Each structure stands twice: as structure tokens, then as C-alpha cells.
Amino acid sequence: MKSLGVLLSSVLLAVPIALISPAQAAEKETAAEKKTTAVIEKRVIGHSVDGRDITAWRLGNPRSSKKVLLLAGMHGNETGAVHTLRALRDGRPIDGADIWVVPVVNPDGVSRNTRQNARKVDLNRNFSTKWAKLGGAVNSGSKAFSEPESRAVRDFADEIRPTYTISFHQPLNGIDIRDTGNNKWAKRLADQIRLPRKAFDCFSKCHGTYSMWFRKHHPKGAVITVEMTKSPSKKYLERVAPRAILRSLNATR
């Protein structure tokens, strides 16, 4: 009678073993992830003053004519929409638009919970359109695009040329639909995202904001500034707002 060890050896030899390389395993894992998550591409578009990555994730359908750029965390103490863009990124696949999300434009500011970046510059006053030398909380930097974070956003927007872009902030509780370049979309977004329509004036007169720069340099595109409330609920940030963005674009997941 054969021993148990001999029998097991015979069985193992009779069954072919399919071996795959680590590279093949990683490729299979990536393919599986693409079927269950929205992310189809990830890129580091720049680095902060302190060397932190500024990362963009691509969601949706790259062949779509709706090219979308969503920005959050430009002010490091305004992180509500960071959760919204991460919820879009981490959810199910998206169809109907080609969407890039940059959840944290100002990683040094987010790390410090400060409006400004590591050099105490307000990035949303550092863009070139109507740039002016400003101090205090809205310190605009030594010159337009003096900061690596604003240059990263500029270069990325110039590269992908979005037809729709949203710059998210807090806590003024409203959506500015003036001079957006696409009033129908702006009104749809305002209705879906459940924020009142307002006119923002940057506390006095606007200088060097991302939206101003985008309007001038990408006149065929549309841009909206969205100001969330001071303390939105988790449900609003992770369910209501992401769904509102997609519905405004007639995109689905």
C-alpha cells in the first residue's frame, strides 16, 4: 500500500500548475480595479513648496467631448470638497464625461490647516489675470505664478483644455453663476448642488483668481466657483454633491 506522502505527490504531479509572473498578477489586479472603480488614470501634475505631490485622477470616458476639471483644497482650510472629489474618485465607474479631479491643490496648506501655502501665499490670488500685490490673508505672492502649486494647475488646465471646470471653496454658501461661459450648466449645477445663486466679490475686488485666469485664457470653456457651507454634512459631501456634479454634466455611474 502506498504511503500518504507518495499518493499526494502523485496527485500534485498529475495536476498542471499555472504560474503567472508578478507583472502579470499586477496587470490582472489593475484590470479588475478598472472594472469596479472610477479611476482610469493617475498623474502627479506638480509638487508643493514642501515637495508634496499634487495629484490628478482621471475618471469617466476619455473619448467624451465633455472635458471636465474639478479643483478643491486650493485653500488649505477649506477641505469640504476634498471629500466630494475623493468620493467621485473612489466610487463606481463614470460614463458620459471625461473628468479629471484634483482633490488637493494645496497639500502644504491642508497639512497645516491654513488658507495659504507653505510660503504663506493665497494660491487663489496668485494667477496672472488682474494680478495685484496683496498682503495679509490674501497675500498674492511676489509675482503672478510665483508658486509651484498655481503653476501646476495652470499647466494642467492648458494641457487638457477643459470645457467645464469647477473651483470649490468654503464657507460662503453659494454658487456664482455670473459670466460662467455656460449659464445653462451653471443653473443646472446650482439646482442640483442645493446652493443659492450669489455674486462673490472676493471681499472687495477680485485679483488673480483661478476663475478669472481661466475665463481669459480658455474663453471656449466654462468655469464656476462653488462655495460650500462652513460645515457640510458627510452625506452632503460624499453623496449629494458628487451626484449633483454628475447630473449637471448629464453623466452617470
Q: What is the CATH number of the domain that holds 127?
A: 3.40.630.10
The pLDDT value recorded for residue 51 is: 98
pLDDT band for position 245 (cuts 50, 70, 90)? very high
For the segment 152-162, the average pLDDT, to the nearest whole number, is 98
| Among the listed residues 60, 66, 86, the one whose alpha carbon sits nearest the alpha carbon of residue 160 | 66
Q: Quick one: what percent of the chain has pLDDT higher than 90?
A: 77
pLDDT band at 21 (very low <50, low <70, confident <90, very high): low
Whether 10 is in a domain gets the answer no
Task: Look at residue 242 in the predicted model and tell me its pLDDT.
Answer: 97
182 Cβ partners below 8 Å, 6+ apart?
164, 222
The mean pLDDT value for 76-102 works out to 97
Res. 249: pLDDT tops 80: yes
Is residue 17 a part of any domain in this protein? no
Binned at pLDDT 50, 70 and 90, residue 11 comes out as very low
**194 inside domain:** yes
Q: Residues with Cβ < 8 Å from 49, sequence gap 6 or more?
A: 108, 117, 118, 119, 147, 148, 149
Segment 33-56, tens digit of pLDDT? 455 689 999 999 999 999 999 999
Residue 137, domain member (yes or no): yes
Q: Is residue 97 part of a domain?
A: yes
Predicted pLDDT at 16 = 45
Question: Is a pLDDT exceeding 70 seen at residue 209?
Answer: yes
pLDDT in tens, 104-122: 999 999 999 999 999 999 9
Is it the case that residue 26 has pLDDT exceeding 70?
no
Tally of domains within the chain: 1
Flag whether 224 is in a domain: yes
In the predicted model, is pLDDT for residue 5 greater than 80? no
Q: Give a yes or no: residue 22 inside a domain.
A: no
pLDDT over threshold 60, residue 8: no
Indicate if the pLDDT at residue 1 is higher than 60.
no
Average pLDDT over residues 206-221: 94
Asked if pLDDT for residue 71 goes beyond 60, the answer is yes
Q: How many residues does the chain have?
A: 253
Q: Check residues 219 and 205 and name the one with the higher pLDDT.
A: 219
The domain of 69 spans 38-248
CB 60 within 8 A of CB 40: yes
Burial status of residue 230 (CB atoms within 10 A of its CB: 0-12, 13-18, 19 or more): exposed
* C-beta of residue 83 within 8 angstroms of C-beta of residue 120: no
Residue 161 forms part of a structural domain: yes
CA distances from residue 25 to 28, 66, 137 in whole angstroms, order as listed: 5, 34, 50
Mean pLDDT over 203-229 rounds to: 91
Mean pLDDT of the chain: 88
Contact 131, 216 (CB under 8 A): no
Q: What is the mean pLDDT of residues 169-189?
A: 89
